[in-house]
Amino acid sequence: MTTPTATVAGAELDAYWTAVAAGDERAACAAAAASRDRGVPLPEVLADLVVAAQRRVGDLWAANEWTVAREHAATAVGLAVVRRLGADVPTPVSGPVLTVACVEREWHALPAMVVALMLRARGCRVTQLGASTSRDHLVSAILDTGPRAVLLSASLTSSLPRVRRQVEAVRGTGTPVVLGGRAFGNDGRRAQRLGATAYAGSPEVVLEVVTALPLHVPSAGPLRHPGAFEARSIEAESDTISRDVLLATDAALGLGHADRDLATDDWRVVLATFVPHVIDCVAGALLTEDPTVYAETRGWLGGVLAVRGAAPQAVSVVEQALAQRLHDHPEAVRLIAGA
C-alpha cells in the first residue's frame, strides 16, 4: 500500500520561479525547503522546481527575453538550491561507488548535480567532478576511486564528439559508462553508437540502469564508418574550420569582423559563439550516423538568431561557408545538403 505523497504546490512553484527570475538564492532555497518540509519527496522537488525552472531559463534566453548574464544568475540560483538540498542528505558510507561528470566543455552542470544528488539520496557513494571535466581528470578520478560506473552528462549536441572521446577513455579503464542528458535525444540510439555501456533516459532511471551494468567492460573499438573518419578529421582542425567559416560569413553578410564592442547578446556575437558548435554538431551527426543531430541544431540556431534580429539568410550563409570549407569531406557535405 502506498500513501499519497505531497506534490509541489502552485504557490511554491510561483515563489520559486519569482526567486529564480530575481536571482534571489535565499528566496529560492526557502521555496524549495518549504516543499520539502511539507513532505514532498526530494526527486519531485528537484524535477518540478529546479529542473523545470532551469528549462524555462534556457528557453527565455533562446527567446531573447533574458540576457546571458541573467541566465547565468538564474542558473547559479538553481545550483545553490541543489547544494542546499544536498546538505540535508546524509553521505552514504557503503553502497556502490559512482562517478558523475559533465563532458569536457559542457557547462550545463545542473542536470549532473541533480542526478548525483538523487543517487546519493538512494544510497550511492557519488563523486561529482562537475562541469567541463577533462579526459585526464576523469581518468585520474577513476583510478583513484575505482567507481562501479561513470555517468556522463551532456546537454548540447555539439558535445557528442567529446562524449565519444570520453567514452573511449572510460572504457579503456574497464569501467562501464552510462550516458544521459538532452544531447542524446529521446532514445538511446546516439548513446549506443558512441559506445555507451548503457543509456539513462531520465534521472529517475539511472539507479536501475546502474544496477544492471556488467562489472567490467572491454575497451571501445574504433569507429570505422566513413562518417567517423571524417568526424575525426573535422574535429582535429575545428579551430581553423571555424575561423574560416566565420571570416567567410562576415564577408558574405558584410559584418566587419573587427567590430568587437558588441553586446554579448547581439546576434553577431551569438552567431560567432555558435559556429564552433555547428561544426561540432556536424562531427557529432557523422559519428552517430544521425542526421537529426545537425538538423536540430540548425533549426535551433535559426530561431535563436531570428529573434535577435539577424539577417534571415544568416544560417544558410554559415551553412554554405561550412559546406565549401568541408568540400573534401563528402559525408559532411551530404549531411549539410540534406538538412
Partner 1 sequence: MRNGGSNRLTTSVRERHARLLAESRSAEPRARLAQASTRAEFLLRLSRTVSAIQNPQRALETLVSVLLEDMVDVAQVVVRTGQWQLVSGAVQGGSVHNTASRVVDGTPADLENALRRGLHDDVVLPKSGAPRRRALAAFLPDPELAAEVDALGCEQLAVLPLTARGRSFGVLVIGRAPGFGFGDAQNFLDDLAARVAVGLDATLVVAESRYVASVLRRSLAPTDLPQVPGLRLATYYRVAHQSQELGGDFLDVHGADDDLILLCGDVAGKGVEAAVHAKRIRNAVRTASHVDRSPGWILGLTNTVLVNEAEEFSEGMATGVCARLRPDGDRLRVDLANAGHPPALLLRADGTLEEVATEGVALALLDGVTYTEAQVTLGPLDSLLVYTDGVTEARGVDDLFGDRRLRDALRGFGGLPPSALIESVAVAVSDHLGERAHDDIAIFAVQFSPEPS
Rounded CA-CA distance 240/262 in Å is: 23
Among 29, 112, 142, 178, binds partner 1 (CB under 8 A): 142
Report the amino acid identity of residue 251.
A
Residue 110's nearest CA partner among 205, 20, 194 is 20
Other Cβ atoms less than 10 A from the Cβ of 32: the count is 27
Contact status: 319 vs partner 1 (CB under 8 A): no
Residue 281 CA to residue 274 CA, distance in Å, equals 10
Which residues 6+ apart lie within 8 Å of 232 measured at CB? none
Determine, following the binding rule CB under 8 A, whether residue 173 of this chain makes contact with partner 1. Answer: yes
Q: Grid coordinates representing 324?
A: 565549401
Q: Which of 65, 144, 208, 259 touches partner 1 by CB under 8 A?
A: 144
For partner 1, the closer CB: 48 or 195: 195
Please state, in angstroms and rounded to a whole number, the distance separating the CA atoms of residues 169 and 51.
29
Shortest distance, position 136 Cβ to partner 1, whole Å: 5
For partner 1, the binding residues in 272-291 under the rule CB under 8 A are 273, 276
Whichever of 102 and 315 has its CB closer to partner 1, that residue is 102
Q: Which amino acid is at 44?
A: E
What cell numbers appear for 77 in the block? 540560483
Is position 72 an interface residue for partner 1 (rule: CB under 8 A)?
yes
238 near partner 1 (CB under 8 A): yes
**Does residue number 24 form part of the binding site for partner 1 (CB under 8 A)?**
no
Within 115-134, the residues that bind partner 1 by CB under 8 A are: 131-132, 134
- Pair 162, 132: CB distance under 8 Å: no
Q: How far is CA 27 from CA 34, 89, 270, 304, in A?
A: 10, 20, 31, 31
Binding of partner 1 by 232 (CB under 8 A): no
For Cα atoms 139, 182, 78, give the angle at the middle one, nearest 5 degrees: 85
Q: Which stretch binds partner 1 (CB under 8 A): 199-207, 232-240, 283-291, 296-304?
A: 232-240
Asked if 229 is part of the footprint of partner 1 (rule: CB under 8 A), the reply reads: no
Contacts of 40 by beta carbon, 8 Å cutoff, 6+ apart: 5, 6, 7, 8
CB closer to partner 1 out of 173 and 320: 173
Question: DSSP secondary structure string, 289-309?
Answer: T-THHHHHHHHHHHHHHHHTT
Say whether residue 84 binds partner 1 (CB under 8 A). no
- The reply on whether position 219 binds partner 1 by CB under 8 A is yes
Pick 9 or 33: Cβ nearer partner 1: 33
Candidate list 14, 18, 88, 140; residue touching partner 1; CB under 8 A? 140
Binding window for partner 1 (CB under 8 A); candidates: 52-60, 238-246, 285-293, 302-310: 238-246
**From the CB of residue 327, how many other CB atoms can be counted at a distance below 10 Å?**
9
* Binding residue (CB under 8 A) for partner 1 from 18, 202, 264, 324: 264
Query: Could you say whether residue 93 binds partner 1 (CB under 8 A)?
Result: no
* Residue 87 Cβ vs partner 1, minimum distance, rounded to whole Å: 10
> What HEC string does 106-117 produce?
CCCCHHHHHHHH
Chain residues in the site for partner 1 (CB under 8 A): 23, 25, 67-69, 72-73, 75-77, 79-80, 105, 107, 131-132, 134, 136-137, 140, 142-146, 172-175, 215-216, 218-219, 235, 238-240, 243, 260, 264, 273, 276
